[in-house]
Structure 1
């Protein structure tokens, strides 16, 4: 038996959409916003978010300060300055837009197929419990994935890429169970899943290049449209 476990942010839904909407709204008074490559800014934003997340878990940095820092630092990397106040306004708008997110249509198709075939599924996501649960509720994830199988890092006490986070999920199933993880983050999802002994499909939407010595996913796809066929192919190989 194989259980298919999903990441949430930038996997079940496209996180760039609320980011883009929040940026264009919050910085509409800045001349540079019209010509800025927001996809590049977004990648920097995600990098600094992942970079500082362990500090929020340990208590070295408050979640509020980290959220200001990640956008402020991403902008600075591109040569732009933004005040703490402006970055907080962005965060407020970003939170608003995240409360309007929907599951990506092609991900819905995959979830429906898995449910129809009675393939067990689950969630493993990093973040504060309340914040991630709001996203899961907004996405109506329990329509396809039983809420008892939703695992949020703050609640379980471990964060990806720590293999212990994956082990918490595995402990809910018989020892012989195998796992397939689907996620977009190379550092958190690919490395974490492989270190835990899981198969992993990497949703590499931004075409990150791997060097020869880097840990490889079992399957790499660059778009949602290629996801379902690869998931089903791996499941058929059992």
Structure 2
């Protein structure tokens, strides 16, 4: 995009807005939990498996196979916390889930990526004297659970909304009001996503490790629902009832 834009603005003035997906710094986000996404690749056992994605669940997490073509498969699993041996844990989850039968072998290497939902604390800052405004988009603004299938869509929505903020500000609408609206839209999406995660994981997992994650999600939902934005209160999302402990 930079090459297509060429030299851009040659006026020497600072940019009116900075739009970024990498704001930097861990403290700028509010995160709900410590869960990790384990991910690696492995060869499929049968050619006919190349057009079918598969999902299964074990006591420790869910496992997902996504064909990549040419006989390879993306293997992903969600676990409730950090993993010292991602490849070993991924192989164990595959075996427990029954999905290992569709692969020639488990992934030889795997990465463990932070995957708990999170939201930027200040995703939109209006321009002020001597500096431009800031709009955070993509996963830098709002990260959602990989299993939800909504992460890419939300990333695109933040980019579209950020473009609308810049256009409206250039047309004379209050930048402060626009930034408050942008932050409100992200917080509303985050609230809805946390409620969905809470319903899903409270129903699917009963281990102590997942209870910690479920409690973290519940606390984050309460904090987010209680938060307000300038001049506008967020609508609280009703919390789903707690599941009874497993016998």
TM-score by length of 1: 0.28
Structure of higher CA gyration radius: 2
TM-score by length of 2: 0.27
Question: Of Structure 1 and Structure 2, which has the larger fraction of its residues in strand?
Answer: 2
Question: Of Structure 1 and Structure 2, which has the larger fraction of its residues in helix?
Answer: 1
